[in-house]
């Protein structure tokens, strides 16, 4: 059964994931955290700013038109839920970057923007640039970055690898997937399981090619639409959850207006 549309969307609203695989079971996925601070800001009439940091998976194929990327699709989903002026999603994807380059952008592309939520897509280019030992050595820096964001009151969602032929051929993809999930769990961050969701859409490794461009790596426009919708739905669902004591630090104080 396909994941249900977010509350407030009409039954006539065709879910983009159905265009890829009508019978895929995408139910049961969640970020694993509560985000009550987002709903509180919306209820108070305050505009949300969500920053999505990442590589070309986030930037999309055309840097001059990011309207067909998954961050844009997530923004449209949340705007249908909360109102067109309630949510701003800032796409900070830069093609070709690995974790070390992304970390150098935190001051300018995250902290300077004072976000209410950060989605960090990471790990793909590292597979093709670093050895297995070097990839294992990235974990402390990733963990510290997530810890520092949460210490500043910014909730974080880590967005993992894509299920793509080139990723599946990379020797370290399992280790990277495990690292991202481990950091999310240990640092009380959310985890958007793109790899698992795309695997369900593909059905098997052979089907992964149908979800990517000819390069066997980058997601098709249809997958961007599907993944973005699911991300928006999961953020909205997490925002509707009651706060838990251990997540209280994730509620971001209101930005100066």
Q: Percentage of the chain with pLDDT > 70?
A: 89
Q: Which CATH number fits domain 28-239: 3.10.100.10, 1.10.3720.10, 3.20.20.60, 3.40.50.1110?
A: 3.40.50.1110
Reply yes or no on whether the pLDDT at 12 is more than 80.
no
Mean pLDDT of all residues in 79-108: 96
**What's the confidence (pLDDT) of residue 171?**
96
Longest Cα–Cα distance of the chain, Å, equals 50
Q: How confident is the model at residue 65 (pLDDT cuts 50, 70, 90)?
A: confident
Give the Cα separation of 90 and 224 in Å (integer). Answer: 16
Nearest to 57 by CA among 158, 125, 106: 125
Answering whether pTM is above 0.85, one says: yes
Parse the chain into domains and list their residue ranges: 28-239
Name residues whose C-beta falls within 8 Å of residue 27's C-beta, 6 or more positions apart in sequence. 1, 2, 3, 4
Beta bridge partners of 51: 90, 118
- Render pLDDT for 230-252 as a digit per residue (tens, 0 to 9): 999 999 999 999 765 434 444 34
- Render pLDDT for 151-188 as a digit per residue (tens, 0 to 9): 999 999 999 999 999 999 999 999 999 999 999 999 99
Give the Cα separation of 45 and 183 in Å (integer). Answer: 33
Give the Cα separation of 71 and 92 in Å (integer). Answer: 10
Assign 191 to helix, strand or coil: strand
**What's the confidence (pLDDT) of residue 250?**
42
Beta bridge partners of 48: 87
**What's the confidence (pLDDT) of residue 244?**
56
Q: Which stretches does DSSP call E strand in 55-147?
A: 87-93, 117-121
Rounded to a whole number of angstroms, the distance between the first and last alpha carbons of the chain is 42
CB 31 within 8 A of CB 157: yes
């Amino acid at each position: 059964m396909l994941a249900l549309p977010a509350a407030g969307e009409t039954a006539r609203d065709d879910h983009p994931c159905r265009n890829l695989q009508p019978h895929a079971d995408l139910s049961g996925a969640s970020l694993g955290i509560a985000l009550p601070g987002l709903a509180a800001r919306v209820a108070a009439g305050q505009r949300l700013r969500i920053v999505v940091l990442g590589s070309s998976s986030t930037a999309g194929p055309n840097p001059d038109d990011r309207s067909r990327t998954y961050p844009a699709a997530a923004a449209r989903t949340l705007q249908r839920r909360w109102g067109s002026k309630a949510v701003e999603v800032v796409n900070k994807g830069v093609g070709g970057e690995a974790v070390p380059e992304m970390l150098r952008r935190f001051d300018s592309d995250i902290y300077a923007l004072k976000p209410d939520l950060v989605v960090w897509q990471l790990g793909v280019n590292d597979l093709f640039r670093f050895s297995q030992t070097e990839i294992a050595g990235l974990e402390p820096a990733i963990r510290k970055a997530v810890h520092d964001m949460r210490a500043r009151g910014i909730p974080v969602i880590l967005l993992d690898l894509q299920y793509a032929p080139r990723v599946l051929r990379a020797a370290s993809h399992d280790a990277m997937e495990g690292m991202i999930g481990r950091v999310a769990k240990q640092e009380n961050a959310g985890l958007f399981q793109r790899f698992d969701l795309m695997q369900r859409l593909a059905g098997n490794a052979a089907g992964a090619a149908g979800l990517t461009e000819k390069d066997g790596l980058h997601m098709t426009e249809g997958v961007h639409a599907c993944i973005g919708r699911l991300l928006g739905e999961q953020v909205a669902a997490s925002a509707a959850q009651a706060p838990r004591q251990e997540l209280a630090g994730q509620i971001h104080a209101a930005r100066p207006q």
